[in-house]
A = this chain, B = another copy of it.
Amino acid sequence: MTASHCYAYPHPAVTTDVVVFTIREERLQLLLIRRRNPPYRGRWALPGGFVGIDEDLEECAKRELAEETGIGDLFLEQLYTFGRPDRDPRERVISVAYFGLAPCSRLRLKAASDASAAAWFPLDRLPELAFDHHEIIQLAHRRLVAKLHYSTIAFQFMEPEFTLSELQAVYEILRGEPLDRRNFRKWVLSLDQIEETGELRRNGNHRPARTYRVRHPQRVAIIR
């Protein structure tokens, strides 16, 4: 490959990496890909890649995610930019990390060209990771937990229609403790961010539950 792009001063490479969370099998899980190329060939890593010279950062994150995992259309938010000079053995690479959330139904994996595999991992069962990706994931998790307390970010894990019990289960998984059903219901309704669909969902041999939808699915509201 010819080195054809020259500058008066050295330039770092810039990548995006994406931490995608979902709730699956009653656990918080995240998406990793297995690297097909060196460095760290065969190691698991966050999806991501180099930013095109005319490409916006978030656009790059979405494109790489789609290419490597087949996933599109999810909530994405910039997390932090990692730039330690030695974080990539090849050359100076600065990575703009994003974190994303989606209900697992919207995330159908199909391993694509850039990755030999893509898979979900429970957050407490992570394999060894490439680069400083463990650090990135740790920060993303802290941000997620923090945002639980002052925003409606958890709604991003929900299907378009959901019951209050399902929503409560998500909060219980994320917070790691059981919540009182009646107080949870009062609290979440008082936010005025979800509304009844008018439909019922019958799920087992018991009373059917009302279903709800998020009023502004694109917006994460700041509460409190």
Contact = CB atoms under 8 A, between A and B. Distances in A.
Nearest to A94: B14
Interface stretch (A2-10, A17-25, A39-47): A2-10
Nearest to A53: B10
Contacts of A125: none
Nearest to A8: B1
A208 interface: no
Interface string A168-194: 000000000000000000000000000
Contacts of A53: 9-12, 85, 92
A12 B81 contact: no
Given A5-B7, A5-B9, A12-B14, 9 more contacts: A3-B8, A11-B11, A12-B53, A51-B83, A56-B83, A83-B96, A94-B94, A94-B96, A150-B150
